[in-house]
Structure 1
Amino acid sequence: MLAVGAYLTSVISDGLYEQRRDQALEESASARGDLVAALGPVSGATSTQTQDAAAAFVQSLRTAEGSSRRDAAVVPVDASAPISAVASDRAVLDLVDADFTAALAEDPDTLVWRSVSREDDSGRAQPQLLVGTRVVLPGSGSFDLLMLYSLRQEQQTLTLVQRAMAGGALVLLGLVVGIAIGVARLVTVPLQRAASAAERIADGDLSSRMEVSGRDELAKVGRSFNAMAENLEQKVLDLTELSRVQQRFVSDVSHELRTPLTTIRMATSVLDEHSSGFEPDLRRTTELLSTQVRRFDTLLADLLEISRFDAGAATLEARSADLSSLVERAAENVRPLALSRGTQLELLGRTGECEAVMDPRRIDRVLRNLLVNAIEHGAGGPVRVRTAANEEAVAVTVQDFGTGIDPEDAARVFDRFWRADPSRARTLGGTGLGLAISVEDAHLHGGWLQAWGRRGEGAVFRLTLPRRPGAPISRSPLPLEQSFSEAPLEGAEPPAVTGSIPAVRPDSLPQIGGDDAQP
């Protein structure tokens, strides 16, 4: 609109100026002949008569005040002329300079014009058009006829046109803005509704829907969104029901299997008591049966514990306890396994400095799970256990120097039944639920259970517990990332085994479980 307005203003301004200029030149040419006719008859008269005739001619050219005002002046060229300069307004003589006079002298038969401006009575500059021509009168000399035309009327016309265009531009701008706002609302309001509905769905309100009206593309998007939300809600409901059924199935099966398992365990115990009199093959079979029964019993216990977590029925039996003491007790429980693997347990931490309110049974289970996993994956290397505390939390780290884990697998080790190497030999009969139960035990206290490691160097597990269950923890007393140097740490306990290790068959040891470590 600005460009169009500027273009129209320029065109109209040029048209008005050219029209007024042509009119002024035509009037000036006519006045030239009138000057010859007025001063020709008095060429032989006295100077006073000639002066009066020139003055009367100038006054006849002058028009009244107004938007089309015109002033004139007659200026003698020669100093010996019989008259002096005559003007209806002295401003006409003030506007003539040497350049304009020289242009008149170059060709006496042409009209010379120039755009000038002068101040009106109010002090504002007004556009003017100065036109001049040279007239030669035989017997009287040469005279310059000057005429000053006002362009005020043209200026007023141009101002009126500009105001009209500005008013039209404002109306058009308002119309365009209104249309733009209307179109924008038609587009953005449905999108805002879709965004609000998506946010509500993200917050868990799966029943949220968009308001749809019309049959345009946005309405089609809204209907598609609502259909997607309905399908998502139905899928979530189906998955929730499936999960509930699965949890109930696991719980029911675990409970139902306890009774026949008890009978089988009693029968196995009778066979174990009389196995010394069996044939070697039958005795070996009895030992394998006893081992698998204990593993089955451990699996059922873990499934029942997981089902309690899933149902939200797990509770804490919290009391004040020392984490270092629990670590020492757990280390004693797994020492037979460490002896069989040639693993050295290095314990760091002082008893009595890690007091916290916790459930000792659950924390003992977590510690035994971590220690057994470290021994099983440690490849005979040392296992370092460090305890520490600060003003808000207590922590323990269990570090091994075996196969290790990749950084991307560190978070997955707590998934149920997940194994970094599915093909590895399960010599200890792990259920794959130990770490999953351990992390749930840690969360039940309001704590953390985290893993970190490097493939081929080792792994570190860190358990951090608040001083009181549920209290906030800003930082752990121990770092998670630690060095994998196998040099004994200062303050570590002596090696768990000195001298030679007696030959012990793994299946004759107490079965502890790879992940859950039941004593």
Structure 2
Amino acid sequence: MTPSQDKLRGWAAARRTILAGLRFTSLRLRLVVVFGLVALTAAVSASGIAYWLNREAVLTRTQDAVLRDFQQEMQNRASALAVHPTQDDLEAAARQMANSPQGFSVLLIAEDEAGQTVVGNSDLDDFSLDDVPKSLQKAVNREQELTSGNKHPYHLYWQRILDGDHPYLVGGAKVIGGGPTGYMLKSLEPEAEDLDSLAWSLGIATGLALIGSALLAQAAATTVLRPVHRLGTAARRLGEGKLDTRLRVSGTDELADLSRTFNRAAEALEKRVADMSARDEASRRFVADMSHELRTPLTAITAVTEVLEEELDAETGSVDPMIEPAVRLVVSETRRLNDLVENLMEVTRFDAGTARLVLDDVDIADQITACIDARAWLDAVELDAERGITARLDPRRLDVILANLIGNALKHGGSPVRVSVREEGDDVLIEVQDHGPGIPEEVLPHVFDRFYKASASRPRSEGSGLGLSIALENAHIHGGELTAANSPDSGAVFTLRLPQDASVLMEEEDRQERSGRGNRKNGKSREGNGSEGEGR
């Protein structure tokens, strides 16, 4: 890659960096930068054009005046000299020509009667033939062909030169018909100083224009961004669930139209959320009412099925063998229906936000042992838990979580099921691992969904489809987490993480609830006053 290509690539990278920086900075800064760049471009362009026009005007005016006087002096003084003047004659004529108001130096060159070149100089120390460019000397001494458009063989020529930092005007002409050749040298230092003063003035004007544009951009940005800031604040309030947020609309510009559109969208969203909340509340009320209504007949049916089950287990064999399968099916389905109603009531409490913890100090190992023993799972479960690992939790809800996880592992993974407990910081980790085929990857994201069935071909199962969902909700209400994964060896692994002290979470929730009640009590009066230009 060539150096020029490297340089171009570097410029492109720098440009992308600058654009990326501007893209992610604030809109106010971007507006100020854009205003500043436009103002700077306009001011620099105007100043450059003004400087160039004034420079040409000043230099042209001085140049014309000097050349006009030099030409006049050549006609009056140099042409009056003899064809072969002496050096004294040339010096006298040069000093007289230099007395012009334009203040230029003069150099006259001729040949004497002996054919020798003689030079007359008005200022021998400052101006000599070496100061005249060779190209100008050649042009002055070149005889041109006479035509209808060119009636003189010699003409006046001039050139601007720079000696160090000092500008000069050099001109030359030859006397027509025989005579000396004259050159003049005029310093343009006063004009250069005037042009420098003009450049400084234009630079100051450009700086003032840039400052003014920055102030104007700031004012414009404030005017434009204030409604945008209000819109952003209103959008955040709307995202926080304050659906009664509205913007105060004034004017007929695009920002006012945007505010009206926001208000219409907020009204539609508030209505839609209210309708959805009403339907959701009606659904929860229906499930709760249905569950309560089912409990009374289920209680009676359960009592009857218990009597039938005792008859089935009795040694007398009073139940007809022909109807025994039907009786066992009724007993099984009654239990399943009873579990489903209890689970529906628990889910309803979670959805309504009425589920509460009843905390107690629990030894985790003892709690797991009691859960396994109560369900006669001692022979199918391996427990790896040290006594003494305690936590302040709700024992009943922890039992529900463990029963669902262990029962699910025994049902789908088979024994032995391994339950291990360990402490990790301020948390307690309980892992339930089976040795079955594991959970299919497409099922993993849905294992905690309500009523989810891993296989569509088996829509009916012994469980209610709510156990893992209830276990997850019970973990969340403790401030914990429940996850599912597959073991690298074999089987599924459910990991329950619970804080060792859930009372801290309860205290925080109580503070938020009291604060929320206070805000709702005072919210109406605050909204009536408006905030940041927002109102209903």
TM over 0.5: yes
2:158 is the alignment partner of 1:113: yes
Partner of 2:455: 421
Partner of 1:372: 407
* Aligned amino acid, residue 366 of structure 2: S
Cα 1:104–1:403, aligned 2, differ >3 Å: closer, same or farther? closer
Once structures 1 and 2 are overlaid, which stretch shifts more, 348-357 or 154-163?
Answer: 154-163
* Aligned amino acid, residue 410 of structure 1: L
Cα 1:408–1:78, aligned 2, differ >3 Å: closer, same or farther? farther
Cα 1:78–1:255, aligned 2, differ >3 Å: closer, same or farther? same
Structure 2: tracts of 5 or more residues without a match: 1-41, 144-153, 506-536
Give a deviation string over 1:16-45, Cα, whole Å, max 9, x none.
5456545544443433332345433996xx
2:283 is the alignment partner of 1:253: no
Give a deviation string over 1:271-304, Cα, whole Å, max 9, x none.
4455532323333333322222222222222223
Query: Could you tell me how far 1:368 is from its partner in structure 2?
Result: 1.4
Q: 1:294 aligns with which of 335, 338, 341?
A: 335
Query: Could you tell me how far 1:8 is from its partner in structure 2?
Result: 5.4
* Aligned amino acid, residue 370 of structure 2: R
Query: Could you tell me how far 1:353 is from its partner in structure 2?
Result: 4.3
Q: Is the 8 A contact 2:94 2:108 kept in 1?
A: yes
Mapping 1:23-422, distance limit 5 Å: 23-40=65-82, 51=88, 54-63=90-99, 68-75=102-109, 77=111, 85-88=120-123, 90-93=125-128, 96=131, 99=134, 103=138, 106-107=141-142, 109-117=154-162, 126-134=166-174, 143-151=180-188, 155=192, 184=221, 187-274=224-311, 276-335=317-376, 345-378=380-413, 380=414, 382-407=416-441, 409-422=443-456
Query: Could you tell me how far 1:414 is from its partner in structure 2?
Result: 2.2
2:476 is the alignment partner of 1:443: yes
Query: Could you tell me how far 1:330 is from its partner in structure 2?
Result: 2.9
Query: Could you tell me how far 1:246 is from its partner in structure 2?
Result: 3.0
Distance 2:113 2:161 in 1: 28
Secondary structure of the residue that 2:284 maps to in structure 1? Answer: helix
Q: Is the 8 A contact 2:140 2:172 kept in 1?
A: no
Distance 2:174 2:448 in 1: 111
Query: Could you tell me how far 1:403 is from its partner in structure 2?
Result: 4.9
* Aligned amino acid, residue 198 of structure 1: A
Structure 1: tracts of 5 or more residues without a match: 120-124, 339-343, 473-519
- RMSD across aligned positions (CA): 4.1
Q: Is the 8 A contact 2:361 2:390 kept in 1?
A: yes
Cα 1:423–1:3, aligned 2, differ >3 Å: closer, same or farther? same
Cα 1:145–1:41, aligned 2, differ >3 Å: closer, same or farther? closer
Q: Is the 8 A contact 1:92 1:146 kept in 2?
A: no
Q: Is the 8 A contact 1:73 1:92 kept in 2?
A: yes
Distance 2:138 2:356 in 1: 112
Higher Rg of the two aligned structures: 1
Cα 1:235–1:86, aligned 2, differ >3 Å: closer, same or farther? closer
Once structures 1 and 2 are overlaid, which stretch shifts more, 208-217 or 155-164?
Answer: 155-164
Distance 2:136 2:450 in 1: 108
Distance 1:136 1:95 in 2: 24
Once structures 1 and 2 are overlaid, which stretch shifts more, 305-314 or 102-111?
Answer: 102-111
Give a deviation string over 1:164-197, Cα, whole Å, max 9, x none.
7667766776776677656655654433332222
Q: Is the 8 A contact 2:400 2:471 kept in 1?
A: yes
Once structures 1 and 2 are overlaid, which stretch shifts more, 87-96 or 205-214?
Answer: 87-96
Cα 1:236–1:148, aligned 2, differ >3 Å: closer, same or farther? same
Greater helix proportion: 2
* Aligned amino acid, residue 476 of structure 2: H
Distance 1:239 1:456 in 2: 46
Query: Could you tell me how far 1:56 is from its partner in structure 2?
Result: 4.7
Distance 2:176 2:263 in 1: 97
Cα 1:83–1:446, aligned 2, differ >3 Å: closer, same or farther? closer
The alignment covers a number of residue pairs equal to 448
Q: Is the 8 A contact 2:384 2:418 kept in 1?
A: no
Cα 1:61–1:358, aligned 2, differ >3 Å: closer, same or farther? same
Cα 1:279–1:455, aligned 2, differ >3 Å: closer, same or farther? farther
Distance 1:153 1:439 in 2: 91
Secondary structure of the residue that 1:372 maps to in structure 2? Answer: helix
Cα 1:87–1:261, aligned 2, differ >3 Å: closer, same or farther? same
Cα 1:22–1:423, aligned 2, differ >3 Å: closer, same or farther? same
Distance 2:196 2:403 in 1: 96
Partner of 1:458: 491
Cα 1:219–1:253, aligned 2, differ >3 Å: closer, same or farther? same
Give a deviation string over 1:427-485, Cα, whole Å, max 9, x none.
53x2222222222222233322211138996321112222222569xxxxxxxxxxxxx
Cα 1:118–1:376, aligned 2, differ >3 Å: closer, same or farther? closer
Secondary structure of the residue that 1:149 maps to in structure 2? Answer: strand
Distance 2:343 2:389 in 1: 28
Query: Could you tell me how far 1:87 is from its partner in structure 2?
Result: 0.8
Secondary structure of the residue that 2:465 maps to in structure 1? Answer: coil
Distance 1:273 1:194 in 2: 71
Cα 1:389–1:197, aligned 2, differ >3 Å: closer, same or farther? same
Query: Could you tell me how far 1:111 is from its partner in structure 2?
Result: 3.8
Matched-pair identity in %: 30
Once structures 1 and 2 are overlaid, which stretch shifts more, 148-157 or 321-330?
Answer: 148-157
Query: Could you tell me how far 1:370 is from its partner in structure 2?
Result: 0.9
